[in-house]
């Protein structure tokens, strides 16, 4: 009885060293040294069950856990050890069993070992499947992050290209007025003050726009385009209407022309949102509302009804990531989400963007 109790306790203490254990999220790594020792500890637990009835249940768990590793040599060693335990148990019995009972016990042992092995293989296969799914999910997340980062970089580069001609125009004005002051000596003091004020404003505007441009690296200047204006934004809306889309517009802009950088950001937001609406919700009406003031900034709200699942196009949503990056660089706010039965994009841009 003492041996039975001692070996049962030993089996229970050693059993956790046999069971599967990983590091958990996010890596789910296994300890190689612990895995190599699992077979030895498992065989020890099974051996204890030959002389202790209290160790028999831990021995069954050890056989199943070793089988879950899906290593043929480990499975064979665990099954042979379990069958050896049954043989030793029969030999230690004081009474003699008929041959029929011995065959029955043998078949029962083989059936028990088969059930344990199949259960262990199922657990191992399920564990491997979960590991594969976790790895695929991690790869998908990494890919999405890479695409989002590429979208941010592309948006930063696009902003720099749009500002190229604007900064060049400001510097050309400075050079023009400075040249007039250098070669003309018939200007009155009032005309000199006006020219110097024009130069000061042009330099200040160019400095602000250049400070925004320096946040990105400009990779190719050959395809730089002039900065869009409010007329270009209106033309984008007209082109979408000519394409057959239903657009309800409400443009309430101040009389003063917005800064070139602000107009570039606004043009990009409107263009990207209309493109997304046409791609993901074809045939649905689109609402475009733009209003603002010099002291309040520009507010943009673009919405469209959510389409049916079988009609909506699939996308990577990197366009919205780029818009978020652009608006954030301009010091504004951006939000795109589904509200009820509509998809709504809200953006705010400061006037001195």
**What values do phi and psi take at 273, rounded to 5?**
-65, -40
Q: Contact 8/52 with Cβ under 8 angstroms? A: yes
> How many Cα atoms within 13 Å fall on the side-chain side of residue 248?
9
189: left (phi over 0), alpha (psi -120 to 50) or beta: alpha
- The yes-or-no verdict on residue 13 having pLDDT over 60 is yes
Confidence of residue 119 (pLDDT cuts 50, 70, 90): very high
Instruction: Return the percentage of the chain with pLDDT > 70, whole number.
Output: 81
So what's the pLDDT on residue 94?
A: 52
CA distance 12 to 5: 11
Average pLDDT over residues 5-11: 89
CA distance 255 to 250: 15
The two three-digit tokens of residue 178, written as one number: 């400075």
Choice between 18 and 197, residue whose per-residue pLDDT is larger: 18
DSSP notation for 32-47: HHHHHHHHHHHHHHHH
Confidence of residue 115 (pLDDT cuts 50, 70, 90): very high
So what's the pLDDT on residue 209?
A: 66
So what's the pLDDT on residue 263?
A: 85
Confidence of residue 311 (pLDDT cuts 50, 70, 90): very low
- The yes-or-no verdict on residue 344 having pLDDT over 90 is yes
Choice between 188 and 169, residue whose per-residue pLDDT is larger: 188
Quote the pTM value.
0.45
- Supply angle C-alpha 278, 279, 283, rounded to 5: 45
Confidence of residue 318 (pLDDT cuts 50, 70, 90): low
Choice between 335 and 103, residue whose per-residue pLDDT is larger: 335
So what's the pLDDT on residue 347?
A: 93
Average pLDDT over residues 176-181: 72
So what's the pLDDT on residue 217?
A: 46
**CB contact burial 55-94 (16+ within 10 A = b; e otherwise):** bbebbbbbbbbbbbbeeeebbebbbebbeebbeebeeeee
Nearest of 329, 311, 322 to residue 345 by alpha carbon: 322
- The yes-or-no verdict on residue 14 having pLDDT over 70 is yes
Average pLDDT over residues 231-245: 79
Q: How many CB atoms lie within 10 A of CB 321?
A: 20
So what's the pLDDT on residue 353?
A: 54
Confidence of residue 218 (pLDDT cuts 50, 70, 90): very low
Confidence of residue 302 (pLDDT cuts 50, 70, 90): very high
So what's the pLDDT on residue 299?
A: 92
So what's the pLDDT on residue 310?
A: 44
- The yes-or-no verdict on residue 192 having pLDDT over 70 is yes
So what's the pLDDT on residue 95?
A: 58
Mean pLDDT of the chain: 80
* Segment 53-107, tens digit of pLDDT: 888 899 999 999 999 998 999 999 999 998 888 878 777 665 555 656 667 767 7
**Helix ranges restricted to H, the chain:** 2-14, 32-48, 56-67, 72-92, 99-183, 189-213, 230-242, 260-280, 318-329
Confidence of residue 44 (pLDDT cuts 50, 70, 90): very high
* Segment 240-296, tens digit of pLDDT: 777 667 888 888 887 777 887 788 888 888 888 888 888 788 778 999 999 988 888
So what's the pLDDT on residue 161?
A: 65
């Amino acid at each position: 009885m003492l041996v039975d109790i001692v070996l049962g306790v030993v089996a229970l203490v050693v059993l956790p060293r046999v069971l599967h254990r990983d590091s958990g999220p996010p890596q789910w790594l296994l300890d190689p040294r612990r895995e190599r020792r699992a077979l030895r500890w498992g065989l020890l637990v099974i051996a204890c069950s030959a002389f202790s009835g209290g160790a028999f249940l831990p021995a069954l768990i050890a056989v199943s856990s070793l089988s879950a590793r899906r290593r043929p040599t480990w499975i064979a060693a665990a099954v042979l050890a379990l069958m050896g335990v049954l043989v030793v148990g029969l030999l230690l019995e004081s009474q003699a069993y008929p041959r029929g009972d011995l065959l029955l016990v043998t078949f029962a042992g083989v059936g028990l070992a088969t059930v344990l092995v199949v259960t262990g293989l199922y657990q191992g296969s399920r564990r491997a499947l979960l590991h594969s799914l976790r790895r695929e999910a991690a790869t998908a997340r990494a890919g999405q992050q890479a695409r989002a980062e590429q979208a941010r970089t592309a948006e930063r580069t696009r902003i720099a290209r749009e500002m190229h001609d604007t900064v060049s125009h400001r510097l050309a004005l400075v050079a023009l007025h400075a040249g007039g002051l250098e070669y003309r000596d018939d200007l009155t003091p009032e005309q000199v003050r006006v020219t110097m004020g024009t130069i000061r404003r042009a330099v200040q505007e160019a400095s602000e726009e250049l400070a925004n441009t320096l946040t990105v690296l400009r990779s190719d200047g050959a395809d730089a385009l002039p900065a869009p204006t409010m007329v270009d934004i209106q033309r984008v809306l007209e082109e979408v209407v000519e394409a057959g889309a239903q657009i309800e517009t409400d443009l309430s802009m101040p009389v003063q022309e917005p800064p070139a950088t602000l107009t570039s950001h606004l043009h990009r937001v409107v263009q990207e949102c209309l493109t997304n609406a046409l791609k993901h919700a074809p045939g649905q009406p689109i609402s475009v509302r733009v209003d603002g003031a010099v002291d309040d900034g520009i507010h943009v709200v673009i919405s469209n009804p959510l389409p049916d699942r079988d009609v909506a196009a699939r996308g990577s949503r990197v366009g919205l990531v780029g818009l978020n990056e652009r608006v954030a660089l301009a010091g504004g706010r951006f939000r795109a989400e589904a509200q009820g039965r509509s998809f709504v994009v809200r953006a705010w841009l400061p006037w001195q963007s």
